């Protein structure tokens, strides 16, 4: 009898101990390689020591988790995403076109006990300071990510939390991968950098002993320009439809006003995208058409439009 | 006394085995075919993806996998690409936030460098999107369990209702058009009487929804009877 009670207590004790182990742990990042075409831009991502070793410390004593190590996972995410967009440079040198400094602004989570749902939810908020090679600020971008446990029957708290964290990191990564190069100020800067690079290489070719002579250069340059334009138009057409950036805010970008002028300003979409997507029938009417519309309204303004229909 | 207890336990256990899984589910499946000709060549593959685009909508991965298995077994020479593998392979284009909501948007994803090429490598012909979830909509009853020196047991009765509501849309990648739509609604009530041991009579609402949608999808692709093989 005493043996049975002891065994039962022991089993319960082990179970309680096992469930109580999940107080401090480290998120293990698992972000796939993005299917994104990289360009020749050389970028340097600067991770501060605080960012690299970031750990969420729980202040409330009511919550089960005490600390969550998040630094490694977020560094791994940013490296993976930006290495797929640009050529990453380990060092901050003159050869670098773009400097990116991420900063974590907020990390929040909700546990099943609090929401009465058997899942964890994670909210992330990052700020990215983007500068050119002269350290001139190009953009100051806030990106938010959300993730929740995808299934409701996970083996442990740690697995559930880790999975939700990875979903949130993937969300941030997806926004960066698709939206980063479409940010107006960055897009303009990258286009300018590409032009400069092209001009430099054209000049090098022209000055070289075996390079093409002057008559051929403009043709190459034109072809490159045409290619560049087609690439840009692809980005433009993609931006309003796919870069659903409702959780992003460009807080201090030089072209922020231009972005706000667009109907999709809330989505940080390049205004130039509109003409490509718009239906010809929906295009802005000419002055003549506007005048006709006014006349039409003036004539029938006091009549019931339905009576005029056949 | 022990003999009586043993008999009761055996009886309860026997009853539990007999009645487990006998709870009923009412299922309603509607199917709309938007194109007359549903072509499927040998080696073509389909991908079945769950919608996760809002905090409220979280289509269960288990359901998506279940439908995939059913389609794989039911349609000869069709390859079903697992959801997780596909989403990882095409990251970041099919994430909760970025996944196309309309076939027109899918075309724009295909226009991205490398995407169309990888789709072609996998031979993807159809996208099947599943949106919806199974929720607990009602629960009643009480049950109490106790444990003492002489043993333990539960007494009471509990009942709950699960409701599932799913919408499946099929997109043809060749034409970037929606070619079919299947709506599934299922309601099932589970019971759990407890007399010493709890006897669960569970309604497999999600499983039945999978069965309904899977069968409908198999018949959807069954334009040519010869290409269908029987499920084992």
Question: CA of A237 to nearest chain B CA: how many angstroms apart?
Answer: 8
Least confident of A126-135, B11-20, B139-148: B11-20
At residue A268, φ and ψ (nearest 5 deg) are 55, 50
| Strand duo A24-26 + A67-69: pairing | parallel
For a pLDDT cut of 90, what percent of chain A falls above it?
35
Distances, alpha carbon B111 to alpha carbons A240, B104, B114, in Å: 14, 11, 8
Give the count of beta carbons closer than 10 Å to the beta carbon of residue B55. Answer: 11
pLDDT digits (tens, 9 = 90+) for B136-148: 899 999 999 998 8
- In A, which residues are within 8 Å of B97 by CB distance? 171, 174-175, 244, 247
∠ CA B141-B210-B70, nearest 5°, is: 145
Question: CA of A227 to nearest chain B CA: how many angstroms apart?
Answer: 14
C-alpha closest to that of A78 among A160, A180, A147: A180
Nearest-by-CA chain A residue for B63: A151
A256 vs A36: CA distance, rounded Å: 25
- Scanning A142-286, the segments in alpha helix (DSSP H) are 157-179, 184-207, 217-242, 256-261, 273-277
B129 vs B196: CA distance, rounded Å: 45
What's this model's pTM, rounded to 2 decimal places?
0.72
* Model confidence band, residue A66 (pLDDT cutoffs 50, 70, 90): confident
* Model confidence band, residue B4 (pLDDT cutoffs 50, 70, 90): low
For a pLDDT cut of 90, what percent of chain B falls above it?
62
Better-predicted residue by pLDDT, A5 or A150:
A150
CB-closest option in A35, A148, A150 to B91: A35
DSSP conformation letters of A41-56: -EEEE---HHHHT-EE
B207 touches chain A (CB under 8 A): no
Better-predicted residue by pLDDT, A226 or B222:
B222
pLDDT score, position A303: 36
pLDDT digits (tens, 9 = 90+) for A138-174: 999 999 999 988 766 556 888 889 999 999 999 999 9
C-alpha closest to that of B209 among B168, B170, B164: B164
A177 touches chain B (CB under 8 A): yes
pLDDT score, position A3: 58
Q: Is the ipTM of this complex over 0.95?
A: no
Better-predicted residue by pLDDT, A88 or A285:
A88
Q: How many helices (H) and strands (E) does chain B have?
A: 6, 6
Q: CB neighbours of B13 closer than 8 A, spacing ≥ 6?
A: B197
* Model confidence band, residue A24 (pLDDT cutoffs 50, 70, 90): confident
Distances, alpha carbon B136 to alpha carbons A25, B59, B187, B191, in Å: 32, 14, 10, 13
pLDDT digits (tens, 9 = 90+) for B162-200: 999 999 999 999 999 999 999 999 999 999 999 889 999
Question: CA of B111 to nearest chain A CA: how many angstroms apart?
Answer: 8
| Strand duo B79-81 + B45-50: pairing | parallel
């Amino acid at each position: 009898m005493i043996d049975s009670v002891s065994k039962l207590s022991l089993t319960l004790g082990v179970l309680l101990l096992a469930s109580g182990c999940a107080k401090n742990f480290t998120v293990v990042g698992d972000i796939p390689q993005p299917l994104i075409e990289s360009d020749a831009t050389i970028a340097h991502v600067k991770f501060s020591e605080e960012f690299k070793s970031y750990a969420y410390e729980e202040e409330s004593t009511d919550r089960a988790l005490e600390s969550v190590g998040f630094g490694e996972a977020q560094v791994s995410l940013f490296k993976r995403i930006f290495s797929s967009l640009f050529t990453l440079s380990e060092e901050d040198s003159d050869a670098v076109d773009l400097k990116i400094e991420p900063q974590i602004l907020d990390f929040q989570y909700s546990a099943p006990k609090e929401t009465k749902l058997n899942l964890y939810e994670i909210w992330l908020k990052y700020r990215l300071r983007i500068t050119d090679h002269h350290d001139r600020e190009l953009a100051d971008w806030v990106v938010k990510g959300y993730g929740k446990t995808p299934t409701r029957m996970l083996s442990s708290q740690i697995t559930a939390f880790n999975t939700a964290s990875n979903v949130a990191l993937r969300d941030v990564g997806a926004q960066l991968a698709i939206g980063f190069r479409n940010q107006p100020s960055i897009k303009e800067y990258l286009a300018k950098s590409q032009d400069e690079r092209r001009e430099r290489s054209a000049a090098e070719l022209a000055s070289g002993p075996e390079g093409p002579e002057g008559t051929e250069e403009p043709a190459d340059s034109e072809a490159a320009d045409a290619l560049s334009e087609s690439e840009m138009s692809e980005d433009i057409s993609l931006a309003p439809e796919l870069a659903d950036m409702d959780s992003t805010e460009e807080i201090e970008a030089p072209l922020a006003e231009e972005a706000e002028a667009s109907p999709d300003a809330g989505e940080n979409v390049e205004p130039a995208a509109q003409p490509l997507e718009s239906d010809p029938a929906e295009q802005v009417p000419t002055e003549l058409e506007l005048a006709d519309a006014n006349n039409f309204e003036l004539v029938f303004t006091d009549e019931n439009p339905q009576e005029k229909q056949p | 006394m022990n003999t009586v207890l043993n008999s009761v336990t055996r009886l309860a256990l026997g009853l539990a085995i007999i009645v487990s899984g006998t709870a009923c589910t009412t299922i309603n499946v509607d199917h709309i075919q938007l194109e007359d000709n549903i072509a499927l060549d040998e080696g073509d593959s389909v991908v079945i993806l769950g919608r996760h685009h809002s905090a409220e909508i979280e289509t269960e991965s288990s359901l998506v996998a279940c439908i995939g298995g059913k389609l794989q077994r039911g349609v000869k020479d069709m390859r079903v690409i697992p959801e997780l593998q596909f989403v990882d392979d095409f990251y970041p284009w099919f994430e909760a936030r970025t996944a196309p909501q309309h076939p027109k948007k899918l075309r724009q994803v295909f226009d991205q460098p490398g995407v169309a090429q990888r789709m072609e490598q996998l031979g993807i012909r159809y996208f099947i999107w599943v949106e919806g979830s199974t929720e607990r909509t009602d629960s009643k009853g009480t049950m109490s369990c106790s444990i003492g020196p002489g043993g333990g047991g539960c007494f009471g009765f509990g009942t709950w209702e699960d409701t599932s509501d799913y919408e499946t849309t099929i997109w043809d990648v060749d034409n970037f058009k929606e070619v079919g739509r299947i709506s599934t609604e299922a309601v099932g009530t589970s019971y759990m009487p407890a007399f010493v041991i709890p006897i669960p009579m569970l309604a497999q609402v999600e499983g039945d929804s999978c069965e309904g949608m899977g069968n409908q999808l198999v018949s959807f692709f069954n334009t040519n009877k010869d290409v269908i093989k029987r499920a084992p």
